[in-house]
Structure 1
Amino acid sequence: MADEVTSWWQTEIIDIHPNIIRIRGYAIEDLIGNVGFVDQIWLMLRGERPSRVQARLLEAALVAAVDHGPQAPSIATARMAMTCGVGLNNAVASGVNLLGSIHGGAGEQALEFYEGIRAAMASGVSIDSAVAEAVDARLAVKRPIEGFGHRFHRKVDPRTPRLLKLLDEARAQGAIGGDYCAIGRTVEKRLLAVKRRPLPMNIDGITACLYGELGFPPPLARGLFILSRSVGILAHAWEQSRQGGRIKGPLPPSSPYAYTGHGPRKLTGPREEA
């Protein structure tokens, strides 16, 4: 019975006993003050400490995705929640819960898309042919290609060039292979060729390149985005709590919504059974 109880939950992450805390084998007192938060994230997820280049790239991705303004649904929801009298934990949870496949999860889908192209390349298909086939197949069924195009940043997502520069520097140092960066760039070129208008690589597309180069699986591309955006959600929720306001909805009271239902009608009596 004792073995059944102790093996109910199994973890390689943390070992806790009275007066002892070890994370991946390291004593917590040795980590505190000696390991940065980004290094700790890597250690928790990957089991070992990152190299200096790996930590720098992960930190750059987390910084890049931290916020995108109060119009972002996750941020707006957290701010509205604060005006309804809930606590910070409720507001942050409300915002995080909106980070799904469309808002916040596109990095995971972009990395899955890249990995399909990379698998084709591993079988001997050239990068141009693999990208063309994958892109054209999506466009043929009118399926969006996650990671490209942006409703605000029509010409360039300002986060992309900087992250690409850091990735190029890491590749020059031999710290990453560069396959995912090449795939991302080639997808962007293919889209420009067939769509005849710029669909720039956005934050999801470039962080998918970065997380792929660092060896993170697609689900963690979403998880790390959520971790990053949680900071922005917390900051906005806290700011809203300082600003005050009560029961603020998505629109100010002066802005009407569109009603598309029945016109005025009278209740004439009990509803007749069919």
Structure 2
Amino acid sequence: MASTTAAPVTPVTGLCTHTLTSLHYRGADLVQDLMGKKTFTEVMLMQILNRAPRGVDLRITDVVLIVLMEHGLTPSAIATRLIYMSAPENLQGAVAAGLLAVGSSFVGTMENCSGLLDRISAAADPQAEALAIARHYKSLKSPVPGFGHHLHKPVDPRAYKLLDLARAEPELAGDKIRALELLSAAVDEAAGRPITINATGAVAALLGEIGVPTAVMRGFAVISRAAGLVSHIVEEQSSPSGRFIWETVEGAIPFVGRAGQAGS
């Protein structure tokens, strides 16, 4: 009896290849076509999106990377500083520790918001879908991804600058921006008051406009925040704060014994 087991498929890659005398990124010769001729952002988009980036892609990506790079002593920066304090010989480990904080609560929330924008764009009644999303999160007593900010009130200025820049780009279709606007109106209606679009909400719309898939968006936060975390290490080298953070936390959180009494 003949076997019906399919032959294993050999994996392939289209990202990079090399010979003894050359190295190619996709179809471009690294030395002849890219070095000295293309920017980092151009090559990054070529590799991630598998196409030649347009001017609008570069402008949108650059402003997004700038916005996501830094936000002070957030969990990612604190993690990086503490790990660097503990292991100063391991710069890459300290950066990696900070990047682990890029997730669904901080920095990487554009992915969560983009999923909602995808739902609204695909809906037969986008306005009704946006309102259903807003009411769902209200019932959970949870913020809608891409909305609200504990520091930037009444508006997050980064978000509205990003949206203004995108609206000035005639090459963008505007579908994701319109979906975000519908969701914003629905969030305000469900809350009974204005709720700001935050930076990652605007980033979700902008990256969607240039064709970045939802499942890839958090990668842009990782790329950008890595640069910011390196700068935190540079500052940690000249003006250390890791031990201060450690000692402050240790002093501020009391030990509680079995009887529920703070230790002396």
Flag whether TM exceeds 0.5 (same fold): yes
Mapped partners of 1:251, 1:186: distance in 2: 46
Mapped partners of 1:161, 1:143: distance in 2: 23
Instruction: Report whether the alignment pairs 1:229 with 2:232.
Output: no
1:209 CA drift (Å): 0.3
Deviations 1:104-139 (A, max 9, x none): 22110100011011111xx3x1x3222112221232
Segment of structure 1 superposing worse, 141-150 or 28-37: 141-150
Aligned to 1:147: 146
Instruction: Report whether the alignment pairs 1:118 with 2:121.
Output: yes
Question: Equivalent of 2:172, from 166, 171, 176?
Answer: 176
Opposite residue 10 of structure 1, the aligned amino acid is V
Aligned to 1:61: 64
1:192 CA drift (Å): 1.8
Instruction: Report whether the alignment pairs 1:217 with 2:213.
Output: yes
1:255 CA drift (Å): 3.8
Alignment identity in percent?
Answer: 25
Three-state SS of the structure 2 residue aligned to 1:19 is coil
Mapped partners of 1:68, 1:256: distance in 2: 24
Three-state SS of the structure 2 residue aligned to 1:184 is helix
Deviations 1:72-125 (A, max 9, x none): 0001111111211332111101101121222222110100011011111xx3x1
1:233 CA drift (Å): 0.8
Mapped partners of 1:233, 1:143: distance in 2: 29
Instruction: State the TM-score, normalized to the length of structure 2.
Output: 0.88
Task: Provide the aligned C-alpha RMSD in A.
Answer: 2.1
Instruction: Report whether the alignment pairs 1:39 with 2:42.
Output: yes
In the TM superposition, 1:102-141 aligns within 5 A as: 102-120=105-123, 123=124, 125=125, 127-141=126-140
Q: Please, which runs of 5 or more residues in structure 2 have no aligned partner?
A: 1-8
1:149 CA drift (Å): 0.3
Instruction: State the TM-score, normalized to the length of structure 1.
Output: 0.85
Deviations 1:237-268 (A, max 9, x none): 12102224674444527842143442499xxx
Mapped partners of 1:253, 1:144: distance in 2: 28
Mapped partners of 2:216, 2:247: distance in 1: 34
Cα pair distance change 1:245/1:195, threshold 3 Å: closer
CA contact (8 A) 2:75 2:101 kept: yes
Aligned to 1:90: 93
Segment of structure 1 superposing worse, 98-107 or 219-228: 98-107
Aligned residues between the structures: 251
CA contact (8 A) 1:64 1:159 kept: yes
